[in-house]
Amino acid sequence: MQSPATSIKSPVRPTRTGLSRLFHPRRRHRLLPTVEGVGFIILMQLVGFAAWHSGTNLIYLIFAMLIAFFLAHGVIVSIMVRGVEATRHLPPHIHALEQINIPVEITNTRRLWTIYALRIIDFLPKGRAFGAGYVARALPRTTVNTGCTAVFPRRGHFRLNHLEVRSRFPFGLIERAAVFSQPDDVIVYPALADVRTILGGATGEAGDVESRTKGQGVSLFGLREYTGTEPARHIHWRSTAKAGELMVKEFEKEDRRRVSIIFANHCPEVAAASPRTAELFERAVILAASLARQLVSTGYEVELLTDSGIVPPGDGEPHLHRIYRALAILEMTSQVTLPPRIGENGNEICRIVFHGPALPRRQDETVFDVRELEIRAGRFAGKAA
């Protein structure tokens, strides 16, 4: 995988000196063996044994050169990571199963040494690595902006633990790692899939609709006498000529189309323990998030109703992220809080089902049963026969 492009900026934060370098509260160092290093140590042992056994000066010289080579690498690789600072910057919005680039700042605080070939690895708790990046070079007293390429495997809450900056420059015999403690909490949104195939024309045409009441709009509602406060462009000149006095137009109020996504996430405890039910529930969460994205992008006001809470109607990107966040932490519950005849306020209804008996198809709603759907090539489609 290719590393992301890097950029360099200067100046950097002040250099740490004295005891502050030895007792850094966020950083510690450790040595890691490499396959090449283990092979080299075995080679040194064999050469050393041969020199001792034969007593040949030339073999002793080769043995001394191997030791010097190994020690030189240990010194240089320690220099590569000793003056490094690393800072992670999480992106504001992250979706599961989506490759992201987590920005990381790598600062070389040394005054003279250029550092080379740094690997950046991000870790979850329990030592699980989930992201990696690379910096080819960082000049003295400069900061390199790079990133860790990562994929979160599922939605929900994640706690990031620490960053490691590793180097095995120049010979790869020993890898030295600087460990930076950087705990961060992140909410990962559900994965998204294309729902246009299954949505079709279920929600009618997007946009504004006439409400048959007086208000701001473009369709004519009626005529009335001019009161002196209306703009002149609203004067209806033909009626004014007939009536002999100024008449102005009144317009019909336009309302935004509104869709209610109803996701009953209650489930009996026995059924909730089944892996199959858990799989269907996650598919239903992906469907709810994908429906919300498609509807908001086409101009609808969308509300989300679940047994765990409600996201009121709204539109635009900030509202869409509120829906994503609610779905990111949504879990199955044994409590039923949604009334059976919800959504009788004129909204169009999209109901999502993941367990239990099939619901009757009401005229005023569209039912999406995830047991009849599957995700193929990043889009929802009906199951193949």
Per-residue pLDDT in tens (0 to 9) along the chain, 385 residues: 444 433 334 334 444 444 444 444 456 788 888 999 999 999 999 999 999 999 889 999 999 999 999 999 999 998 899 889 999 999 999 999 999 999 999 999 998 889 999 999 998 877 788 889 999 999 999 999 998 999 999 999 999 988 999 999 999 999 999 999 989 999 999 999 999 888 875 554 444 444 444 545 445 556 777 777 677 777 777 777 777 778 777 765 445 688 899 999 988 888 888 999 999 999 999 999 999 999 999 888 999 999 999 999 998 999 999 999 999 999 999 888 876 655 555 678 888 998 877 666 666 678 899 999 989 888 998 875 4
Tell me which residue of 267, 288, 274, 266 sits closest to 370, measured CA to CA: 288
Q: Report CA dihedral (68, 73, 74, 80) to the nearest 10 degrees.
A: 150
Distances (CA, A) of 368 to 155, 199, 355, 377, 381: 21, 9, 11, 19, 11
The backbone region for 265, taken as left when phi is positive above 0, alpha when psi lies in -120 to 50, beta otherwise, is alpha
Report the predicted TM-score, pTM, of the whole model to 2 decimal places. Answer: 0.75
Cβ atoms of 255 and 211 within 8 Å: the answer is yes
Protein fold of 7-188: Immunoglobulin-like (2.60.40)
Distance (Å, whole) CA 251 – CA 233: 13
pLDDT value at residue 9: 42
Cβ atoms of 182 and 162 within 8 Å: the answer is yes
pLDDT value at residue 231: 74
pLDDT value at residue 213: 46
pLDDT value at residue 270: 83
Distance (Å, whole) CA 258 – CA 313: 8
Tell me which residue of 91, 208, 207 sits closest to 152, measured CA to CA: 91
- The edge-to-edge listing of strands for the beta sheet with 208-214 is 208-214, 247-256, 220-225
Query: Which residue matches tokens 């504001």?
Result: 92
The H or E element that residue 59 is part of is helix 57-82
Kindly list the domain boundaries of the chain, sorted by start residue.
7-188, 196-203+257-382, 210-255
Q: Is 167 helix (H, G, I), strand (E, B) or coil?
A: strand
If one counts every other C-beta atom within 10 angstroms of the C-beta of residue 148, the result is: 22
Burial (CB count within 10 angstroms: exposed 0-12, middle 13-18, buried 19+), residue 111:
exposed
